[in-house]
Amino acid sequence: MRNLIAHDYAGIDTAVVWETVRQRLPELRAAIEAMLQRLS
């Protein structure tokens, strides 16, 4: 996703981006929370 956004900005399908965020954000949040727990 990052490569597409960085190199083909005009070709971004916002529906695909939104669906990716919607589906993967909980997973990302859990991973970040776990990292923060290990740091404290």
Q: What is the pLDDT of residue 26?
A: 95
pLDDT tens digits, 1-40: 777 777 777 888 889 889 989 999 999 999 999 999 999 8
Question: Do 4 and 12 touch, CB atoms closer than 8 A?
Answer: yes
Range of the domain at 24: 2-39
- CA dist., res. 15 & res. 35, Å (int): 30
Q: What is the pLDDT of residue 12?
A: 85
Q: What is the pLDDT of residue 8?
A: 79
Domain count, the chain: 1
Q: What is the pLDDT of residue 38?
A: 97
Q: How many CA atoms lie within 13 A of 22 on its CB side?
A: 6
